[in-house]
Amino acid sequence: AQSVTQLDSQVPVFEEAPVELRCNYSSSVSVYLFWYVQYPNQGLQLLLKYLSGSTLVESINGFEAEFNKSQTSFHLRKPSVHISDTAEYFCAVSEGNTDKLIFGTGTRLQVFP
């Protein structure tokens, strides 16, 4: 069965600094990969997803993630964070040929002024 590991439960960073949120998955089959973001007291929102094609995917607010099949990773990066990026970030992987997503435990990104 697929699983997702987000090693960092919390990542503190200063505003305008770069950040990387790590995500590793385990799967023996082709997968789809997702990053969702959850702001306080809200539901999750899709940030970006990898389905096929270019291994580098981007979001509209400056985040990007790179699918690395050999390392089974899908790390999320942003070159310069804003206070408004403070949120919980969840990596997710598709499970087999179902519509089910397996979520990681989340990484709380805290951006300080």
Partner 1 sequence: DARVTQTPRDKVTEMGQEVTMRCQPILGHNTVFWYRQTMMQGLELLAYFRNRAPLDDSGMPKDRFSAEMPDATLATLKIQPSEPRDSAVYFCASGLDGITDTQYFGPGTRLTVL
Amino acid found at 73: S
Q: Which range, of 11-19, 22-30, 74-82, 98-106, touches partner 1 by CB under 8 A?
A: 98-106
Q: Which of 104, 107, 109, 111 binds partner 1 (CB under 8 A)?
A: 104
**Which CB atom, from 32 or from 86, has the smaller least distance to partner 1?**
32
Q: CB of 107: closest distance to partner 1 in angstroms?
A: 11
Determine if residue 97 is left, alpha or beta; phi over 0 gives left, psi from -120 to 50 gives alpha, anything else beta: alpha
Tell me: does residue 32 bind partner 1 (CB under 8 A).
yes
State whether the Cα torsion 82-60-49-80 is positive or negative: negative
Tell me: does residue 90 bind partner 1 (CB under 8 A).
yes
